[in-house]
């Protein structure tokens, strides 16, 4: 496998997993009462709602803009972009689907380059492109884990989000 197909295969898989895990998590979250959804449960961004808004800000409004447009918006990491929970879920689902075509559009050489951007404080930054893209997907996994821990503490059922379950789902015969 050449470098192009290796990078593309790896990050395309990460993007597909991201969509799958986002959908499964949001399905579980949809069953939680609004009071529990918005209650401070001790997460870094306090509530499930706060954490989901952070994910929208970080992954889709900041990182996606940096990777797709070379833009560096200035947004607070705890900004409440979408107060309505169903619209927030739709924005997260739509945002997660944007990564696959973006990754497919890049040349293999792009993965070996740098990502130049400005931080949310406006400071210039340059980081390895592929490692920073890996950060985006790792960041999502981190916060999905926080939310599933909160759901468990609330006595709510949680989806299995391990990558192996995604791989098995992809291999399963389609009905």
Q: pLDDT band for position 3 (50/70/90)?
A: low
The pLDDT tens digits of the residues spanning 55-86 come to 999 999 999 999 999 999 999 999 999 999 99
Give the CA dihedral 43, 48, 53, 57, nearest 10 degrees. Answer: 40
Tell me how crowded residue 134 is: count the other CB atoms within 10 A of its CB.
14
Residue 2: pLDDT above 60?
no
Closest CA to 51 of 140, 173, 169, 156: 140
Calculate the alpha carbon distances from 49 to 15, 91, 169 in Å. 23, 13, 28
Structure confidence at residue 70 (pLDDT) = 95
Residue 42: pLDDT above 80?
yes
Question: What global pTM score does this model have?
Answer: 0.94
Structure confidence at residue 4 (pLDDT) = 56
Structure confidence at residue 121 (pLDDT) = 84
Tell me how crowded residue 153 is: count the other CB atoms within 10 A of its CB.
10
Structure confidence at residue 5 (pLDDT) = 73
Q: Give the contacts of 168 (CB within 8 A, at least 6 positions apart).
A: none
């Amino acid at each position: 496998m050449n470098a192009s197909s290796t990078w593309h295969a790896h990050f395309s898989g990460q993007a597909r997993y991201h969509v799958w895990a986002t959908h499964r998590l949001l399905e579980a979250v949809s069953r939680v009462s609004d009071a529990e959804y918005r209650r401070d449960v001790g997460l870094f961004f306090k509530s499930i709602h706060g954490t989901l808004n952070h994910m929208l800000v970080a992954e889709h409004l900041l990182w996606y803009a940096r990777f797709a447009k070379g833009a560096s918006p200035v947004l607070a990491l705890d900004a409440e972009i979408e107060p309505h929970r169903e619209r927030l879920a739709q924005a997260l689902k739509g945002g997660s689907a944007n990564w696959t075509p973006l990754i497919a559009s890049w040349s293999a050489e792009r993965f070996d380059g740098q990502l130049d951007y400005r931080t949310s404080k406006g400071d210039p930054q340059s980081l390895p492109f592929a490692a920073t893209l890996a950060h985006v997907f790792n960041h999502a996994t981190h916060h999905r884990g926080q939310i599933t821990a909160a759901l468990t503490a609330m006595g709510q059922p949680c989806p299995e989000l391990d990558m192996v379950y995604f791989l098995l789902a992809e291999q399963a015969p389609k009905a």
